[in-house]
Amino acid sequence: MLTKGDDFPIHQTPEPVAYSGSNRNFYDRYFFNGYDPEGELFFAHALGVYPLLDVMDAAFSVVHRGTQYSVRASRILGMERMDTQVGPISVQVLEPLQRLRVRVGENEHGLRADLEFRARARAIEEPRFFKRVGTRVLMDSTRMTQFGVYEGWVEVNGERFEVTPDRFVGTRDRSWGIRPVGEPQPPGAPQALPQFYWLWSCVNFEDCAVLFDTNEDADGTAWHKHGVVAGLGGAEPQTVPQISYHMELQSGTRHARRMEIRLTERGGTEHLMELEPVFPFFMIGIGYGHPDGSHGTYQGPLKVSGERFTLKDVDVRMPHHLHIQAFCRARMGNRQGSGVLEQLIIGPSETLGLKELLDMAP
């Protein structure tokens, strides 16, 4: 089947764009987050395409005054991947790698928005993610990360907040490839205890930005680790060859109480970045692991839903609340900044002294 994408020189296989190979777990996703320096308003957005499931979904979620508000939408893709709108939520590429627009139109769940993301640094290609569990490929994907500023507005329950580029910064990413999506597949022969360890930190400072991420096996061995110190404007982002970190968990949780990340550049310059989590943004708000329909799950021709909850009332021991982006205050030498520390830790981890599937820090 031919679609609008076929008129662009973007083919990666001999097939029409609509088919994207043969793996049912192929996905293609936009993600954005944004915040002011004090974290008074934190927002995030996701839009995903699942070509072999014929589904597109999107979500927008805001944390304000201790409450998280969300609106989510899902529709049949109809094979047309260039129509990046799901119900009231849309993404528009205004200038590739420089400017994108996120809009949330009228809906019943108290959220509206019109935001333009503008790059403040060059896009960063992270190393390829590849992980096999037994004989099955769990992940095979690429991620592009970019720091930026926002301009526009967000409306929460009729209260409008002006978003200006002198105050609101954030990060966007684009990832595509293979990861578990849609309805669960039959597991086949029994495998080892489920385990997944993921940290991703993106921090904006006045004169630079810092990216750190890692995936680890249960014994602490990293199968993916990356660090970048990015200058602003057109400066070439500097990949850091030596990375170490120390993270302390909050008692009774799998979420960080504090974290230090040490990044050593090739010339020997060392950066020690300290993160102080202030509050969590729960990723179920934008569909990650949502019990009523996670990413790629078929929910009918079009479904729009939403919810709100008070952060302090959330039981962070529940599996669908493990995945968070903590809004953080950050220090690096004399620099003061803000950003996020994304965390998803399931199963044992020697690094953190966790031994079971869902045991919590003492």
Rg (CA), the chain: 20
Burial of residue 160 (CB within 10 Å: 0-12, 13-18, 19+) is exposed
For residue 191, pLDDT over 80 is answered with: no
Give tens-digit pLDDT for 35-51.
Answer: 999 999 999 999 999 99
pLDDT of the residue at 14: 84
pTM, rounded to two decimals: 0.96
pLDDT of the residue at 114: 98
For residue 190, pLDDT over 80 is answered with: no
Helix, strand, coil percentages for the chain (3-state, nearest 5) = 5, 55, 40
* All structural domains of the chain with their residue ranges: 26-183+193-346
Q: Provide the residue count of the chain.
A: 362
Give tens-digit pLDDT for 200-250.
Answer: 999 999 999 999 999 999 999 999 999 999 999 999 999 999 999 999 999
Going by pLDDT thresholds of 50, 70 and 90, the confidence category of residue 267 is confident
If you average pLDDT over residues 323-334, what whole number do you get?
98
Round to whole Å and give the CA distance between 161 and 254. Answer: 33
Round to whole Å and give the CA distance between 14 and 37. Answer: 47
Residue tagged 């991420």 (tokens): 213
Helix H segments across the chain?
none
For residue 192, pLDDT over 80 is answered with: no
Round to whole Å and give the CA distance between 233 and 225. Answer: 25
Residue 183: both structure tokens together:
């309805």
If you average pLDDT over residues 162-176, what whole number do you get?
97
CB under 8 A, 24+ apart: contacts of 318-324: 319/289, 319/346, 319/358, 320/284, 320/289, 320/290, 320/291, 321/282, 321/284, 322/254, 322/346, 323/282, 323/283, 323/284, 323/288, 323/289, 324/255, 324/280, 324/281, 324/282, 324/283
Higher pLDDT, 282 or 18: 282
Of the candidates 205, 321, 198, 181, which has an alpha carbon nearest to the alpha carbon of residue 273? 205
CATH class of the region 26-183+193-346? mainly beta
pLDDT of the residue at 63: 98
In a 3-state reduction of DSSP, which class is residue 283? helix
170-202 in b/e burial notation, b at 16+ Cβ within 10 A?
bbbbbbbbbbebbeeeeeeeeeeeebbbbbbbb
In a 3-state reduction of DSSP, which class is residue 108? coil
If you average pLDDT over residues 115-142, what whole number do you get?
94
Give tens-digit pLDDT for 336-347.
Answer: 999 999 999 999
For residue 319, pLDDT over 90 is answered with: yes
pLDDT of the residue at 22: 80
For residue 7, pLDDT over 90 is answered with: no
Phi, psi of 283, rounded to the nearest 5 degrees: -70, -15
Round to whole Å and give the CA distance between 88 and 70. Answer: 13
Beta strand 222-231 with 242-249: parallel, antiparallel or unpaired?
unpaired
Beta strand 124-125 with 242-249: parallel, antiparallel or unpaired?
unpaired
If you average pLDDT over residues 323-341, what whole number do you get?
98
Give 292's DSSP letter: T
Residue 313: both structure tokens together:
């009332």
If you average pLDDT over residues 281-299, what whole number do you get?
96
Please give the mean pLDDT across all residues of the chain. 95
pLDDT of the residue at 143: 94
Give tens-digit pLDDT for 97-109.
Answer: 999 999 999 999 9
pLDDT of the residue at 2: 78
